[in-house]
Structure 1
């Protein structure tokens, strides 16, 4: 953990000693690079990169944009796990080594012999595509540098590469670049893109407002980044950072390995993604600003430890990175960020403790009063336009007839802002100058206990620690569409729910719950009991009850006695199962959901596909279809370019009618 050497500059010898005491051991030279060893290699992704719902474990090694490069065992050991899947790692190998470490090789195109024959034989016997096997320790021993597979693009890969991990015996993911590989070089420091200052309590303000404020760092001639303006704040605030790392010879933007925050020379926050337990992947959603990612598509990482964050990557700090700014004081802030090669960048700025005089005067307006609401942590933010008097107030109606009157906190662009601490009670409605707005808050969900919400139409059960922090649950429904919370709030795990429809659906076995996001419909399933359906979800947001009675469709793109391939599509629930056979004999097939392509796998080189081929398909809603073709017919190949033109032409026609819905299928 050489990053901690920077602490010496700030006189933090005790912290350095503590860090050195906990330093991990990385045996240099024990592992060889798994692909193209002893030659320069490049990364498409680094350890701890910020990905959807998880930290990136390990490194992604570029394969020159192609598949089929030899993959070698990084050290001696035995193959302890091998799996084939259309999602996740795709084709993957786990090797357990004598020193207790485990190496992982993912997104492989194919396995080398004799493992390939073993996997194929087992898949034929079980008549399955997806498979997860754990061979005996003496069954597939490997030596260092032995060919074990060929690189590919299987599973959840976005392009050809090798995913490579090193884990310890406790399943902690370790940074492979700490093991002394010389194949990767980098001397380019990370880049600061944006800094957000956020109020952390109802009494906090940034430039006189209860709102996030963005700043854009500028790199000076001395290499140090600075802000073009001072930050004016009061109360407790937090910082969020948008920064990326660049590497030599590649255009990829990778994540940071380490970040430090100093206030007046004292470290108040520090994280280092040197290692983390594989099981805490979902906790990534509390490491970053999950809500901003959903709204803006940008991944800001918090420079403070939020409530509910238990990821073991932080250095102890009393403040946990939350800054308490006092009026009349000035604070010198320094942020240091590092990549995996300890290339670093520095941002310096000043925070002034200043509670600006807030304007509370509005210009009276005869137009109907508008009320908009939002929630930030424990604070309800009410914004109102077209107030009738200069001293209008807001009346909050609470349970049991309790009324709370709120004064204007401040005015911006003739819009009055009122604030309410939700810990004081969940409001039922608000009234401002005769205009009223109903709330749909139902219950406060606490993280450290199991909580149930029950209503005539909707029941929701949150298990213990399924939320990171207190959730002020909002629910609503209209017809067969309903909401559970906001999609901008993350869950740590899965919750259960049930929804009651007005009438039992005509085809309950063809009707399920789908998560709605724009035009996207994601199948969740569910179990019917009368006119109530029970289901599970690991995200909050909008859901709908939809029926799917249309079976999957297969379109042949290649046919010969040696090979066949189909394009598979489904209108809503997504493909669940598939099976190919000729004359009752099972034919093994592979499937890539990214390309919607299904193709044949020969049992051996002598096998010929002759006779009538039956391809059976079933979607998640149980709709089935059978496609038949004569394999004795003349060979058929539809070239990719021709197929693309057909699909593009078809898509153009769809645009002339109603918009085509995007369908996102839940991967198993």
Structure 2
């Protein structure tokens, strides 16, 4: 016993030492690092943020600070190091510089730059001319672009997927884990406003679970209270449930919204869950779709953060599971603390009242001709509109794929009209749903999340790599001449899936020119990778239902906007597959052009100093290879 206590005590001392070292490092780096904007303003009185780490953005978590400023405001390195990566693009981070700080094993990131510093620009221009491309991604050697602390490395702009002049600034560790810059800089410490909570949701998490007697997420509006917010009425629940919240932070004097970065969940005073949105791997930012209730986002357009951990989420920001098991006849006092980066917090209070569902099952429900089903995670939900037949027990019949028959009892009546039946698909996959005189085929295919899984028929093969799905999925598959279908699901993809399509078997090649074809779906476009004469493949990050074949034989459009001896400005557009790339030549030699997709504008290199005289030629390609040529004698 004494040795156990000694070991436990030593582990506590080790944990304390680890925390001391961690916070010592952060405080030490606060003394080393200077802010990338106005580095001599140590009070941060002139610094305005429009975004911070952990904000809920479309399909990803925000990984840095958005710092407001003006075009061409100088951007400075926060510490000495070397440029380890540069990317020039009209998309994503636009013009971006990555600086590695080897003394500290950190990397700082500076995105959406309008221009680079002269020495970085010289390096980039040389590579662009060598590659004859505006878009480049470069990885300089450590000795090529050494950087000093406070050195100007670029200028603030609005390039890439940016919608206003600002600097997107990140700090990562050497393993590409996102760190919160607000842990290193005391910016916004004047803020005294706590996060806001607009809505609260309670979701059933197993087929036996209910919220207000339904297997359905229920949404509530919290009221102000002394601690923060409360839901005055008791919420009737049974089984395993999860709490979710629509929340964000506000800052004194700012019109922007920010992340509610810390959450703690307590049941009967005991903490069972917490998260802190910091120190997560950059390659897991799309796990946002698991951090929020993705199905509820599709239904409502709102991002409810889950105050419990769902399957397949690898963000690593969580402590505890957070799922609450509610027993019949018991009440559960629940408290949720919401906190911002500056420590401002408020608490939500609510009570879950355990109540087991109780139905009068003495009536059988006869189908009127309407029967449908849906799937939520592993739960099959069968719905039907029915007439009453007295003195018998209500149920539907499932015929499983192994031939067995199961009777599924009525779960509850919804809105007095619709009968709801629930079944756990982990008990066996059905092939037919039967109710009296109605038979409904069950055509879903089971796809597993944690192993390489294939679906294949005579027309197409779909490959789901290990980890592509966060949870088990049940999908429809079909293929026709003009489109194919991969059943829409309420859970997101984590990694891309690959679809290989036998186009000759379905006569696609007789209808469409494969070389001029792409795939369109509700979230965007995918492009073909020809494997051989009879098959092609696409990679998709979405399961959206219909994937339609679209043929694009029309080249991009080029329009001259302005002409002078110093500069040419064009508008380039393509309404189908989109702009791929472009090249310009002056008197037969490559001439760099710069591009901004947000306004479809293309112009001759800003720092080109020679007069534009002679024969000029511009070539613009779309993403299926159509090319437009524009020529002029200057």
TM-score if structure 2 supplies the norm length? 0.91
Match of 1:286 among 286, 290, 315: 290
Counterpart Cα distance in 1 of 2:431 and 2:194: 51
Question: 1:265-414, aligned counterparts within 5 Å?
Answer: 265-315=269-319, 317=320, 320-358=321-359, 368-387=368-387, 389=389, 391-413=393-415, 414=417
Aligned equivalents of 2:405, 2:14: Cα separation in 1 = 51
- Residue segments in structure 2 that go unaligned for 5+ positions in a row: 1-11
Q: Structure 2 CA distance, aligned partners of 1:508 and 1:425?
A: 43
Who is 1:597 aligned against?
A: 601
State how many pairs are aligned: 608
Encode CA deviations 1:581-618: one digit per residue, 9 max, x unaligned: 1221211111112221111105542x111233221111
Q: Structure 1 residues 182, 403: CA separation in 2 closer, same or farther (over 3 Å shift)?
A: closer
Q: Is the 8 A contact 1:392 1:432 kept in 2?
A: no
SS in 2 for 1:281: helix
* 1:423-465 Cα distance to aligned partner (Å, 9 max, x none): 12222232223233222212x2222211111111221111112
Relative to structure 1, the CA distance from residue 387 to residue 30 in structure 2 (aligned partners, 3 Å threshold; closer, same or farther) is farther
What is aligned with 1:447? 449
Alpha-carbon shift at residue 28 of structure 1 (Å) = 1.8
* Aligned counterparts of 1:238 and 1:59: Cα–Cα separation in 2: 31
Deviation at 1:121, TM superposition (A): 2.2
Cα gap change, 1:184 to 1:609, in 2 (>3 Å): farther
**Match of residue 36 from structure 2:** 34
Alignment of 1:38-187 (within 5 A): 38=41, 39-63=45-69, 66-97=70-101, 98-182=103-187, 185-187=190-192
Cα deviations by residue, 1:480-515 (Å, 9 ceiling, x for unpaired):
222213253212212211223421424544344424
Secondary structure of the residue that 1:436 maps to in structure 2?
Answer: strand
Q: Does 25-34 or 138-147 show the bigger shift?
A: 138-147
1:370 deviates by 1.3
* More deviation, 260-269/150-159: 150-159
CA distance in 2, matches of 1:440, 1:51: 34
CA distance in 2, matches of 1:461, 1:22: 46
| Aligned residues of 1:79 and 1:140 also touching (Cα < 8 A) | yes
Counterpart for residue 627 of structure 1: 630
1:563 and 2:567 correspond: yes
CA contact (8 A) 1:550 1:571 kept: no
Cα 1:427/1:15, change in 2 over 3 Å:
farther
CA distance in 1, matches of 2:135, 2:146: 24
Deviation, 1:524, is 2.8
Distance 1:509 1:459 in 2: 18
Instruction: State which drifts further: 391-400 or 201-210.
Output: 391-400
3-state SS, counterpart of residue 170 of structure 1: coil
Give the stretch that moved more between structures: 234-243 or 279-288: 279-288
Q: Does 1:499 align with 2:501?
A: yes
Give, in angstroms, the shift of residue 474 of structure 1. 2.2
Alpha-carbon deviation of 1:275?
Answer: 1.2
Per-residue CA shift, 1:362-394, capped at 9, x if unaligned? 89789x421222111110111111346355532
Tell me how far 1:521 sits from its aligned partner: 4.5
Shift of 1:322: 0.7
Is the 1:201–1:235 Cα contact (8 Å) retained in structure 2? Answer: yes
- Relative to structure 1, is the Cα distance of residues 610 and 388 closer, same or farther in structure 2, using a 3 angstrom cutoff? farther
CA distance in 2, matches of 1:191, 1:197: 18
Asked if the contact 1:109/1:152 (under 8 Å) is kept, the reply is: yes
- Structure 1 residues 182, 192: CA separation in 2 closer, same or farther (over 3 Å shift)? closer
* Distance change in 2, residues 1:344/1:552 (3 Å): same
1:249-295 CA-partner distances (Å, limit 9, x unpaired): 22222222110000011000011113112222232222122222233
d(CA) in 1 for partners of 2:550 and 2:363? Answer: 47
Checking the alignment, whether the CA contact within 8 Å between 2:294 and 2:492 is kept in structure 1 is yes
Structure 1 Cα separation of the partners of residues 482 and 495 of structure 2: 25
Q: Which residue of 1 aligns with 2:5?
A: none
Please, which of 211, 214, 217 is the counterpart of residue 219 of structure 2? 214
Q: Which residue of 1 aligns with 2:4?
A: none
* C-alpha contact 1:566 1:597 (8 A) present in aligned 2: yes
Q: 187-196 or 25-34: which moved more?
A: 25-34
Residue 229 in structure 1 maps to residue 230 in structure 2: no
Moved more, 396-405 or 582-591: 396-405
When the two chains are superposed, the root-mean-square deviation of aligned CA atoms in Å is 2.4
Question: 1:85-135, CA deviations, whole angstroms, 9 ceiling, x for partnerless residues?
Answer: 121111011112232221110000001111112211221222111112222
Alignment of 1:535 onto 2:538: yes
On the 8 A contact 1:40/1:184 being kept in 2, the answer is no
Deviation of 1:297 after TM superposition, in Å, equals 2.1
Aligned partners of 2:438 and 2:290: how far apart in 1?
Answer: 37
Output the CA distance in 2 between the equivalents of 1:372 and 1:50: 34
Specify the alignment match of 2:439 in structure 1.
436
CA contact (8 A) 2:65 2:181 kept: yes
1:16–1:356 CA distance, 2 compared to 1 (3 A): farther
Q: Cα–Cα, structure 1 residues 22 and 416, in superposed 2: closer, same or farther, change >3 Å?
A: farther
TM-score, with length taken from structure 1:
0.86
Change (3 A) 1:140 1:168: same
User: Aligned in 2, Cα 1:415/1:437: closer, same or farther, shift over 3 Å?
Assistant: same
1:21 and 1:326 map into 2 onto residues whose CA distance is 42
Q: Superposed, which structure 2 residues align to 1:472-491 within 5 Å?
A: 472-491=474-493
In 1, Cα distance between the equivalents of 2:15 and 2:468?
Answer: 35
What is the distance in 2 between the residues matched to 1:399 and 1:100? Answer: 55
Cα distance in 2 for partners of 1:420, 1:478 equals 32
Deviation at 1:36, TM superposition (A): 2.8
